[in-house]
Amino acid sequence: MQLQVAIRDHSKEPTMFRFLESTVKQYMTSKITSVTRACTLGDLESLFAKYDFETLPVIENGKLIGIVTKFDFLRAFAFTTGQLLPSYDEQMKRTVGEVMTEGVIDVEPDTPLTRVLQMMVNHRIRSFPVVDDGKLAGMISRGDVMRALKQATHDGK
């Protein structure tokens, strides 16, 4: 009785090896819109609508001091025991500094995308600011990571 071994040619199949070598700087969004803590929620709403971003970095004196998300924006309108029906017009005058998230996790341009992917999954975060030498260099989002996965496994098609 002879044992037959099937050899499969994997050379034409999508491979994840290129993704393992991918870094943030290859896929991050470099042209970013940022806000300051003085930006009003009214202006923030307009920026979210114009650029369709989920997150905007908050910059002060050239430094990243936090992020503001659509969730942060919506949280300003949540009903509380102190305010059952928040006034829309009054809330829109509030500032980003009042609603932003401060303790931000950031990444560097040379961070492997495998690390970013794991951080997104572990922390349930949609995007990270990319900081290079203390300055905001861009943002890396779930969409950027998805694009990298597709390009790595389908030869950029």
Q: With left for phi above 0 and alpha for psi between -120 and 50, is residue 66 left, alpha or beta?
A: left
Backbone CA torsion sign across 87, 35, 25, 151:
positive
What tens digit of pLDDT does each residue of 8-55 get?
Answer: 554 555 567 888 889 999 999 999 899 999 999 999 999 999 988 899
**Kind plus residue range of the DSSP H or E element containing 59:** strand 55-60
Residue 84 has which token pair? Answer: 């059952």
Q: What is the pLDDT of residues 123-155, one digit of tens each?
A: 999 999 999 998 999 999 999 999 999 998 876
Please report the domains of the chain, with CATH numbers, ordered by start residue: 17-152 (3.10.580.10)
The model carries a pTM of 0.80
